[in-house]
Amino acid sequence: MPPASVTPASTRSAVFRLAELIQESDCTVALTGAGISVPSGIPDFRTPGTGIWENVDPIEVAHIDAFRRDPVRFWSFYRPRLHSLGGIEPNPAHHALAELERRGLLAGVITQNIDMLHTKAGSEAVVEVHGSIRSASCQACDSRYELAAMDSLFDEEGVAVCAACTSLVKPDVVLFGEHLRAEEMAHAEALAARADLLLCVGSSLEVYPVAGLPSLTMARGGAVAILTQGPTPYDGDARVRLDGDVARELPGVVDALH
């Protein structure tokens, strides 16, 4: 086995092949999941030993019913998460996608992440299908609060309540038990359906409806490339498959472009 600092020939070949696919594509779209943010210090959800849900039942703390039934417990989990995510910075994989967009080689990023790292890295055409932590909204009067203003909303029990009407305030993220936002999902489906190349980065491609997006690309004759650790249902369909460090491999693809 080569030293960790040496990139195997098979990986280099796949990186150059992916660069070729991007250059040949008239419409490349990225689909990203939790794995792209792991190099920034954000754990993914299901990896044994390190995943967010390893010691916490998501149905108990991150379900819409939990928010309504026990907002104290909900916010005891979510408030520290808001603080930690707010201070995280994008890694080279996020910057690589922003650079592809800047060069006119990427039509958009569809992300399952709520961490805002794509926009922090400079990507502009971002579809956040699960919402983001940048804001929260009152469930009664629809007052909206930016992340920076959230701390002032918490009462003595640690629950965020609206400054205007004292009703519950919820982060503008899609919780378990909620449907994805129709407008964002329709935008994501439209992008995937017209993509010549769908670049899937850091996603297990197992959670629907987002997991169905590669099928839309392939149905119109487009190609799928996968950069993620661990198996996905689309591995056999992928034109290029990379399973190393996305923060190294994705910038390598950008460097390989003519």
pLDDT of residue 44: 59
Average of pLDDT values for 199-223?
95
- Predicted local confidence at residue 226, as pLDDT: 97
Average pLDDT score over the chain: 88
pLDDT at 50: 42
Over residues 127-182, the pLDDT tens digits come to: 999 999 889 999 999 899 998 888 899 999 999 999 999 999 999 999 988 888 89
122 and 200 belong to one structural domain = yes
Indicate if 169 and 139 belong to the same structural domain: yes
Among 94, 95, 130, 179, which one carries the catalytic annotation? Answer: 130
Per-residue model confidence (pLDDT) at position 49: 47
5 pLDDT more than 60? no
Q: Are 74 and 17 in a shared domain?
A: no
Q: Do residues 204 and 38 lie in contact, with contact meaning Cβ atoms separated by under 8 Å? A: no
Q: Residue 53 above 90 pLDDT?
A: no
Q: Which of 150, 173, 196 is the last residue of a domain?
A: 173
pLDDT category of residue 8 using cuts at 50, 70 and 90: low
Same domain, 219 and 250: yes
Domain extent at residue 59:
51-87+133-173
Task: Output the furthest CA–CA distance in the chain (Å, rounded).
Answer: 63
CATH number of the domain within which 167 lies: 3.30.1600.10
Single out the residue in 148, 173, 198 at which a domain terminates. Answer: 173
Q: What is the mean pLDDT of residues 224-230?
A: 95
Do both 123 and 160 map to the same domain? no
pLDDT tens digit sequence for 72-103: 989 988 888 777 777 789 999 999 999 999 99
The set of residues, in sequence order, having a beta carbon less than 8 Å from that of 34 and lying 6+ positions away, is: 42, 44, 45, 112, 113, 202, 203
CATH, residue 255: 3.40.50.1220
Q: Tens digits of per-residue pLDDT, 234-244?
A: 999 999 999 99
Task: DSSP for 182-248, please give it.
Answer: HHHHHHHHHHHHT-SEEEEES--S-STTGGGHHHHHHHTT-EEEEE-SS--TTGGG-SEEE-S-HHH
Catalytic annotation present for 95: no
Alpha-carbon distance of 30 to 97, in angstroms, equals: 8
* Nearest one of 184, 193, 227 to 97, comparing CA atoms: 227
Structural domains counted in the chain: 2
- 108, 134, 158, 203 from 129: Cα distances, Å: 13, 14, 28, 14
